[in-house]
C-alpha cells in the first residue's frame, strides 16, 4: 500500500443552506494521478479549494502530507505550502509580472538564491512546462489560454512540490494542445514522482493520464477506482458518464493509441 | 503489511548533504540523502568554485532523491564541460534519479537572443512620441464617439422608435437625482466659504454689503456650474467608463453588434443625453444651494438679513450671470459624457486596462471641463456679457 498523501475525513461544505459535501472521505496516494469527476455543481472545484487550504470546511478534517490543513500553526502551513503547488483554471498569473517573474515569485522564499540562478531555475520550469524561451519574457495578457495554463503549471512546479492540484487543466484547449498537456502531466508525474490531484470534465484526460478516478455524486465521493472499473459501477450518473458516446470514443482512441505502440 | 501512521512522514524527509573533493584529474562530488532547493544554493556555489577546466564526477550512489534544481546544477555543469570536451560523468544514479536528470537535460532552456534594449535617451524620446501619438489617437476617438452620438441623435429624430426611453430615465436617475445630495452640499459649503472669506476682506473697506454681489456673481457665473461639472466628471465619467469598459471586456459590445443592436443607440445616446439633460438642473440646484449657504453665512457673520440679501441680490446682480453660467452646462455635459463613453470603448481585454482607462477618463473629463470654461470666459469677455 502506497503512502497516503492526502486524507479527507467527514468533510462537510455548505454555502448558506446549500450543502455541497456531506461526510466526504477521500484518500490520495503518493505518486498517483487522481482524477476527480462529477456533474456540474457537485463541488469538484470546491473540494480542490478545500483540500488546498483555500476554503475552510464547515466540518471534517483534511490532512495533507501529515499536516492538518485547517488546524496547523502558521509555520507548519508555510512549510506545507512549499511542498504543494496549485494550478488554477486560467493560470491565475500575476498580470503585472512577466511569466519568468511569475515563476520566480515562489522561488523568492528560498534564501541565498542569486537573481541569476533564480531566473535560470524559472526558465527551466518554463521549459519543463513546454513553453518556448521567449514566452518567459511575455506578460500574461500576451499569451494564449493554453500558454497561460502552462505558465500556471510552471509556477505551481517552481518549488518542486510533492503534490500538485490542477483545476480543469485542459478546459478550453484545442485537442492537440489538450493532448500535449495530458502527456506533460503524465511525464512530469512519472519522472518527478509528483502526486497529482486533478479536476476535469475531459474524458480524454481521464483516460490518458489518471491512475485512479474519484466520482463525486450525492455530496460525497461515490466511488474510487481505475477507469476500467468505473464501467461496472451501478449508478445511473456513472453509467451515463463512462458509457456515453464520448467516453466510448475516448476509450477507443486510447485503445488504438496503445495498439500502435 | 501494516500501514504506517500518518505522522511519520509529516516532517520533511531527512535532508541530504554533499562533499566536493578535488582530485588531480577531476573533482568528485558525492551527494548523500535527499537534496532539494534548500541545499541547492550551497551546492551550486560549490560547483561553480570548481575550476571550469577541471573534470567532474558526480557520485550519486548514496543519493535517495534529488529535485529539478539539483538536477539542473548537475546538468548545466555537465553540459558546459561536454562542450569543451572535458570529463563529466555521473555514476551510481538510481533509475528515478536518472529519469529526472534526463528530463531536465532534455528541457535545458536554450537562450534565444533578446531584442537589444534601446538607450535611455531613445527610450525617453520614444515614450514622448508614443504619448503624443496617444493624445492624437484619443482626440480622433473622441471626435469619432461625438460623431456617433450626433448621428444617432439625428436618426432618433427621423425615427423615434429607436429611442430608448427606459434607459434614458434610468441614467437620468443615476446621473442626476442621485448626485443631488453631494452637489448641493458642495455648493452650500462653497457659498459659506465665499461669504466668510469675502466678509473678512470687505470689512476692511466697510463694504460688507458687497459680499452679496461677490457671492452672487462668483457662484452664478462660475463656481456653481464649474464645480458641479467637476464633481459630475469624477462621479459619472468614471461610471460610464467602468460600465461600458466592462461590457467591452466581456465582449458584450461585440455580442450586441452581432445581434443587430447598435451600441450607439443602446449605450451612448441614453448616457450622454441623460447627462445633457441633468447637468443644467444640477447646476441650478448648486446655484441655489450656494446662494443659500452664502446668505446664511452673511446673516451670521455680517448681520445681513435674508430679506436684505434677497433685495440686494435682485437689484445688484444682472440675470445675465445666471444665463452665462447655465449655458455652459450642456457643453460640459457633452464633454464629460463623450469622454466617459470613449474611454469605455477604448478598454482592452484586461482588467488592468479598465482601471487605467477609468482614471484617465476622469482626468481627461475634468481637464476638458476646465479648458472649456476658460474658452467660455474669453468668449463672454469678447461679446461683453
Please check whether residue B23 lies inside any domain of the structure.
Answer: yes
B160 touching A (Cβ < 8 Å) = no
Searching chain B, which residue's CA lies closest to the CA of residue A159? B37
CATH number at residue B57: 3.30.750.24
Residue B57, φ and ψ in degrees, nearest 5: -125, 125
Test B68 with A67 for CB contact under 8 angstroms.
Answer: no
Q: What is the mean pLDDT of each run of 10 residues along chain A (261 residues)?
A: 84 87 89 88 87 87 87 85 87 87 87 85 88 87 86 88 89 82 84 87 85 88 85 84 81 76 65
Test A124 with B108 for CB contact under 8 angstroms.
Answer: yes
Please check whether residue B211 lies inside any domain of the structure.
Answer: yes
CATH 3.40.50.720 fits A1-83+163-221, yes or no: no
Mutation site for B-interface testing, chosen from A98, A120, A164 by largest number of B Cβ within 10 Å: A120
CA B160 – CA B366 distance, rounded (Å): 33
> B364: pLDDT confidence band, cut at 50, 70 and 90?
very high
Among the candidates B82, B107, B132, a domain finishes at B107
Searching chain B, which residue's CA lies closest to the CA of residue A4? B6
CA A2 – CA B4 distance, rounded (Å): 10
Give strand pairing partners of A164.
A85, A196
Give contacts of A191 with chain B, Cβ < 8 Å: 99-100, 102-103
Please check whether residue B113 lies inside any domain of the structure.
Answer: no
Q: So where are chain A's domains?
A: 1-83+163-221, 93-160
Give contacts of B76 with chain A, Cβ < 8 Å: 120
Residue B101, min C-alpha distance to chain A (Å) = 9
A-B Cβ pairs (cutoff 8 Å, strict): 89
Report which of residues B246 and B65 the model is more confident about.
B246
Please check whether residue B140 lies inside any domain of the structure.
Answer: no
* Chain segment A207-219, per-residue pLDDT in tens: 888 889 898 888 8
Residue B15 DSSP symbol: B
Residue B371 sits in the same domain as residue B303: yes
Give contacts of B68 with chain A, Cβ < 8 Å: 121, 124-125, 128, 157, 160, 192
Please check whether residue B128 lies inside any domain of the structure.
Answer: no
CA A123 – CA B111 distance, rounded (Å): 9
Among the candidates B107, B132, B147, a domain finishes at B107
Give contacts of B108 with chain A, Cβ < 8 Å: 124, 127
Give strand pairing partners of A37.
A215
Residue B189 sits in the same domain as residue B333: yes
Please check whether residue B123 lies inside any domain of the structure.
Answer: no
Give strand pairing partners of B48.
none
pTM greater than the 0.80 cutoff: no
Please check whether residue B122 lies inside any domain of the structure.
Answer: no
From the CB of residue A214, how many other CB atoms can be counted at a distance below 10 Å? 23
Question: Do A184 and A164 touch, CB atoms closer than 8 A?
Answer: no
CA A39 – CA B232 distance, rounded (Å): 48
Domain residue limits at B50:
14-107
B166 touching A (Cβ < 8 Å) = no
Please check whether residue B2 lies inside any domain of the structure.
Answer: no
Residue B167 has a pLDDT of 92
Residue B263 sits in the same domain as residue B357: yes
Q: What is the domain count for chain B? A: 2
Q: In the predicted model, is pLDDT for residue B287 greater than 50?
A: yes
Residue B74 sits in the same domain as residue B167: no
C-alpha separations of B342 from A17, A232, B168, B266, B375 in Å = 44, 60, 18, 14, 23
Amino acid at each position: 500500500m502506497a503512502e497516503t498523501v492526502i486524507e479527507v475525513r467527514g468533510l462537510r461544505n455548505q454555502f448558506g443552506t446549500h450543502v455541497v459535501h456531506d461526510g466526504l472521505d477521500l484518500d490520495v496516494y503518493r505518486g498517483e494521478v487522481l482524477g476527480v469527476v462529477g456533474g456540474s455543481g457537485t463541488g469538484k472545484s470546491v473540494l480542490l479549494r478545500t483540500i488546498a487550504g483555500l476554503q475552510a470546511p464547515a466540518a471534517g478534517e483534511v490532512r495533507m502530507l501529515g499536516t492538518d490543513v485547517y488546524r496547523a500553526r502558521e509555520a507548519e502551513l508555510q512549510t506545507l505550502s512549499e511542498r504543494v503547488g496549485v494550478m488554477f483554471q486560467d493560470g491565475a498569473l500575476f498580470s503585472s509580472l512577466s511569466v519568468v517573474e511569475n515563476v520566480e515569485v515562489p522561488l523568492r522564499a528560498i534564501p541565498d538564491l542569486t537573481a541569476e540562478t533564480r531566473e535560470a531555475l524559472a526558465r527551466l520550469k518554463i521549459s519543463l512546462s513546454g513553453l518556448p524561451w521567449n514566452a518567459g519574457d511575455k506578460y500574461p495578457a500576451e499569451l494564449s489560454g493554453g500558454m497561460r495554463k502552462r505558465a500556471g503549471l510552471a509556477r505551481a512546479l517552481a518549488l518542486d512540490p510533492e503534490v500538485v492540484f490542477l483545476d480543469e487543466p485542459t478546459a478550453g484547449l484545442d485537442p492537440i494542445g489538450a493532448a500535449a498537456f495530458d502527456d506533460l502531466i503524465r511525464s512530469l508525474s512519472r519522472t518527478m514522482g509528483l502526486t497529482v490531484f486533478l479536476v476535469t470534465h475531459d474524458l480524454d484526460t481521464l483516460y490518458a493520464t489518471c491512475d485512479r478516478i474519484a466520482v463525486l455524486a450525492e455530496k460525497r465521493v461515490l466511488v474510487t477506482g481505475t477507469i476500467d472499473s468505473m464501467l461496472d459501477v451501478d449508478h445511473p450518473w456513472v453509467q451515463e458518464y463512462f458509457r456515453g458516446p464520448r467516453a466510448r470514443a475516448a476509450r477507443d482512441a486510447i485503445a488504438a493509441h496503445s495498439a500502435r505502440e | 503489511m501494516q500501514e504506517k501512521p500518518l505522522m511519520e512522514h509529516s516532517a520533511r524527509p531527512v535532508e541530504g548533504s554533499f562533499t566536493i573533493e578535488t582530485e588531480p584529474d577531476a573533482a568528485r562530488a558525492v551527494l548523500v540523502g535527499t537534496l532539494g532547493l534548500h541545499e541547492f544554493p550551497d551546492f551550486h556555489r560549490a560547483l561553480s568554485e570548481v575550476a571550469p577546466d577541471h573534470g567532474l564526477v558526480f557520485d550519486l550512489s548514496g543519493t535517495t532523491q534529488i529535485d529539478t534544481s539539483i538536477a539542473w546544477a548537475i546538468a548545466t555543469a555537465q553540459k558546459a564541460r561536454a562542450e569543451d570536451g572535458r570529463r563529466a560523468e555521473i555514476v551510481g544514479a538510481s533509475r528515478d534519479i536518472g529519469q529526472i536528470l534526463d528530463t531536465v537535460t532534455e528541457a535545458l532552456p536554450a537562450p534565444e537572443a533578446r531584442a537589444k534594449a534601446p538607450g535611455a535617451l531613445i527610450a525617453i524620446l520614444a515614450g514622448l512620441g508614443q504619448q503624443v501619438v496617444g493624445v492624437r489617437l484619443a482626440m480622433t476617438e473622441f471626435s469619432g464617439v461625438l460623431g456617433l452620438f450626433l448621428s444617432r441623435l439625428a436618426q432618433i429624430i427621423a425615427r423615434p422608435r429607436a429611442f430608448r426611453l427606459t434607459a434614458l430615465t434610468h441614467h437620468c436617475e443615476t446621473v442626476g437625482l442621485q448626485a443631488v445630495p453631494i452637489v448641493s452640499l458642495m455648493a452650500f459649503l462653497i457659498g459659506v466659504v465665499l461669504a466668510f472669506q469675502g466678509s473678512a476682506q470687505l470689512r476692511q473697506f466697510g463694504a460688507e454689503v458687497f459680499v452679496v454681489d461677490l457671492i452672487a456673481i462668483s457662484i452664478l457665473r462660475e463656481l456653481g456650474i464649474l464645480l458641479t461639472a467637476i464633481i459630475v466628471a469624477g462621479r459619472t465619467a468614471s461610471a460610464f467608463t467602468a460600465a461600458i469598459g466592462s461590457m467591452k471586456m466581456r465582449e458584450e459590445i461585440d455580442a450586441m453588434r452581432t445581434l443587430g443592436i447598435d451600441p450607439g443607440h443602446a449605450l451612448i445616446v441614453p448616457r450622454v443625453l441623460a447627462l445633457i439633460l441633468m447637468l443644467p438642473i444640477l447646476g441650478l440646484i448648486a446655484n441655489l444651494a450656494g446662494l443659500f449657504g452664502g446668505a446664511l453665512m452673511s446673516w451670521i457673520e455680517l448681520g445681513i438679513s435674508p430679506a436684505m440679501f434677497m433685495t440686494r441680490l435682485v437689484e445688484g446682480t444682472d440675470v445675465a450671470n445666471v444665463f452665462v453660467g447655465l449655458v455652459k452646462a450642456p457643453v460640459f455635459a457633452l464633454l464629460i459624457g463623450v469622454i466617459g463613453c470613449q474611454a469605455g470603448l477604448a478598454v482592452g481585454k484586461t482588467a488592468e486596462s479598465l482601471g487605467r482607462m477609468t482614471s484617465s477618463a476622469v482626468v481627461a473629463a475634468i481637464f476638458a471641463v476646465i479648458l472649456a470654461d476658460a474658452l467660455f470666459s474669453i468668449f463672454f469677455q469678447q461679446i461683453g456679457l
